[in-house]
Structure 1
Amino acid sequence: MSKKEFVINPLGYVRHNGTGFYLELLEKYAGASRGLEGFNYINVLWWANLTDGNEYRAILECEQPYKGAPEKVGVFATRSPGRPNPISLSSVNVLSLEKGKIHVAYIDAEDGTPIIDIKPYHPSLDRIRDVKVPDWCSHWPKWYEDSAVFNWEAEFISAR
């Protein structure tokens, strides 16, 4: 098998201006958001640029990241930004659209984070009725909306 390289170019950047979050699209991609009106959630794929280094890409296992989790957890069982390819996914609530900007309620990415793709959230494709998770995270919220009031800080083990 031959080695392949992939080129991913940013479509725009996550912005936080102190009062809110928005996705700022590069001018050449501004028209790509046409038709998103009516969708109140989108999936945003973004490049975890702050953890894009060889030391982060070499992380395959994490020391117990969550309380109650096994002592070691493979990175694919976490949402950690340190991973072989620093691609992250966030489902976000769309507040409003304007040319070249998608205003969102919140996104767990830093200001200036490159956006690599946007897809509409669609229940027939993205929602799954019977989801199974390990016991150590089974008490986490079942719905995105409940996550806002869940005490996530209590779930993580502080740096050792």
Structure 2
Amino acid sequence: MHDINPIGIIHSPHYSIEDMPIQPKGASGVEGYALINEKYIAALHDLEGFSHIYLVYSFHKATRTELLVTPFMDKQTRGVFATRSPLRPNHIGLSIVRLKRIEKNKVIVEGIDVLDGTPLLDIKPYIEKFDGVKESVSGWLQASDTEISKKRSDNRFR
């Protein structure tokens, strides 16, 4: 197994786990940035050609692991792998955000749903040709009528 070390820190206007967007769609227009460690600046070369990127990060405030959780968008208990809960075994998060620009080691993004101070593990470009799935099915969430853009977090996943 390889060691995983942060490549930077994510900064956002979200300073508390409670009352923040639960997904990037709920953070429309919200700006933040990833401050990349100086030794990784060369790795940002050519990234500005992409409109969107994946941020892979650590849910560093998650204090426990649960195999069954009740997600924000549901009232029923679900397996953690069928949710976006931070209480996963490895506490790894993933968000697709809009890349606005890069200033040296500062990657400025929009649609950020991540807690300020979150360790960034990786960045990958979103590539529609590879990542877009036309016939996807969203499992238990298909039946949900909850408006994702209005849903906010609470303290259930501390």
**What's the TM-score bracket when you normalise by the shorter of the two chains?**
0.7 to 0.9
Cα pair 1:43 1:91 within 8 Å, conserved: yes
Larger radius of gyration: 1
Q: CA–CA distance in 2 between the matches of 1:123 and 1:32?
A: 21
Q: How does 1:113-132 map to 2 (within 5 A)?
A: 113-132=118-137
Cα pair 1:66 1:157 within 8 Å, conserved: no
Q: 1:16 aligns with which of 12, 20, 30?
A: 12
Q: TM-score, normalised by structure 1?
A: 0.76
Corresponding position of 2:69: 62
Inter-CA distance 80–94: structure 2 relative to 1 (3 Å threshold): same
User: In the alignment, residue 44 of structure 1 is paired with which amino acid?
Assistant: L
Q: Secondary structure at the match of 2:54?
A: strand
Deviation of residue 66 (structure 1)? Answer: 2.8
Q: Identity, % of aligned pairs?
A: 33
Per-residue CA deviation, residues 39-60 of structure 1 (Å, 9 max, x unaligned), is: 0100110011001x4xx12x10
Q: Which stretches in structure 2 are left out of the alignment for 5+ residues?
A: 15-29
Corresponding position of 1:105: 110
Tell me how many residue pairs correspond in the alignment: 141
Deviation of residue 34 (structure 1)? Answer: 0.6
